[in-house]
Amino acid sequence: MVVSTVEKPHPLDPYLRVARLPHIWCPGCGIGIALGSVMRAIDKRIKEGTLKKENVVFVTGIGCSARSSFYVNFDAAHTLHGRAIAFATGAKLAKPELEVIVVGGDGDIAGIGGNHLLHAAKRNMDLIVLMITNFVYAMTGGQVAPTTPLRLYTTTTPHGNPEPPLNTVRVVSSLNANYVARASVTHPILIEQYVYRALGMRGFRFIEILSTCPEVFGRHIGIRDPLTLYNHLRSKVVVKQSPSIEESDLDWERGLVIGEYLIRDNPSYLDRVRGRLE
């Protein structure tokens, strides 16, 4: 029996391409929680009149998180693996009134796209980058990712991962970004708050969102049940009001510290470009 998945309107339906639902994400995947929180933040900005719907552009690369551009009812681009930030930079510079939001996984944003991430942050480029970290390459079936914990067995580290995880929060904070935060799908309200704040700012705004992947990462760490994995991540997450960069390492023993690491209002790339010929 086919059961309709859209029986009555959802409050976020105006921001979704409802015709494309159901989405491809696995049961227990955290991306939907993250995207829902992002939509609520956008909704709040649109309703209060500080953001125009037609100016919102989602730019994504390739990967599970990148599929977000399929489902959002905004201008959207599903581009190349790793290149979303570069594409987004071109779009923003060509039409500065756009609010360009990049969504991607940690492999997409910090792995193959790492160079673009560095340079966008260095420029304080007027973009929002949401990096959904699931600690593994999930779409391709479970290979080691930039954020995979040390010693973990993955399909390409069958003898254990010899590399410590990349602390992208520390990397981006060391550059000229105006906003750096880490959130978690275990705390959706905070995702919404951080994205809401970022939408009201200028310059480069980076939010890492820790997420659950029971299907692939869960299999690697022996927790395949979505709820158990969710609660496991929740037990590791430590919420701090003003965390220091020093405690931002992805350390599963001491806790994964989420919070707003950096908030400042430095002139953005566009501000600096605009001033040059005057």
* Stretch touching another protein by CB under 8 A, among 31-39, 43-51, 87-95, 157-165: 87-95
CB 65 to another protein: min, Å: 15
* Stretch touching another protein by CB under 8 A, among 162-170, 172-180, 200-208, 269-277: 269-277
Q: Given candidates 37, 79, 168, 268, which one binds another protein under the rule CB under 8 A?
A: 79
**Separation between Cα atoms, residue 9 and residue 32, nearest integer Å:** 17
Q: Which residues pair with 184 in a beta bridge?
A: 210
Q: Given candidates 90, 160, 164, 200, which one binds another protein under the rule CB under 8 A?
A: 90
Please tell me whether residue 173 binds another protein under the rule CB under 8 A.
no
DSSP codes joined into one string, 50-113? SS-GGGEEEEE-SSTGGGHHHHBSSEEEE--TT-HHHHHHHHHHH-TT-EEEEEEEHIIIIIIT
CB 19 to another protein: min, Å: 8
Q: Given candidates 10, 17, 23, 170, which one binds another protein under the rule CB under 8 A?
A: 17
**Separation between Cα atoms, residue 106 and residue 135, nearest integer Å:** 7
Residues in the chain: 278
Work out the angle at residue 135's Cα, subtended by the Cα atoms of residues 130 and 138, and round it to the nearest 5 degrees.
90
Please say which residue, 138 or 181, places its beta carbon nearer to another protein: 138
Residue 208 token pair: 């890492």
- For residue 7, the SS3 value is coil
Place of tokens 């399909």: 155
CB 11 to another protein: min, Å: 19
Q: Given candidates 97, 246, 253, 278, which one binds another protein under the rule CB under 8 A?
A: 97
Q: Given candidates 26, 80, 221, 262, which one binds another protein under the rule CB under 8 A?
A: 80
190, 33 contact by CB (below 8 A): no
Neighbour tally for 235: CB within 10 Å: 10
* Stretch touching another protein by CB under 8 A, among 67-75, 146-154, 161-169, 193-201: 67-75
The number of residues that bind another protein (CB under 8 A) is 38
In Å, how far are 4, 38, 118, 243, 265 from 18, measured between CA atoms? 12, 17, 35, 38, 37
CB 136 to another protein: min, Å: 22
Please tell me whether residue 273 binds another protein under the rule CB under 8 A.
yes
CB 168 to another protein: min, Å: 17
Please tell me whether residue 69 binds another protein under the rule CB under 8 A.
yes
Please say which residue, 49 or 222, places its beta carbon nearer to another protein: 49
Q: Which residues pair with 157 in a beta bridge?
A: 154
Query: Is the Cα torsion angle 243, 244, 245, 250 positive or negative in sign?
Result: negative
List contacts with another protein (CB under 8 A): 17, 20, 53-55, 57, 59, 62, 69-70, 73-80, 83, 86-95, 97-98, 115-116, 118-119, 273, 276-277
